[in-house]
Amino acid sequence: MSLINFIAWLGSLTGLLGSLLLALNNANSGWGFVAFLVSNAAWLFYSVQTKTWSMCIMQIGFTFTSILGVYRWML
């Protein structure tokens, strides 16, 4: 498996984990935003490597919402 494929899988799986944790709406749900941050970082790396600039812009926006989620839920 190439690095870029690993990063894509990491982004997908941590994004799914983040949405599951938020959907549970329990004491651990804030960790969903941490999972989203990992997913955001993976997809940002992927989008820069593949020069998919629209995805890059989207992930920058999602990163800000994930940071806001960490701040509101965990800090």
Extents of the domains making up the chain: 3-74
User: In the prediction, which pLDDT does 57 show?
Assistant: 98
- Whole-prediction pTM: 0.94
User: In the prediction, which pLDDT does 1 show?
Assistant: 87
Length of the chain as a residue count: 75
Residue spans of the chain under pLDDT 70: none
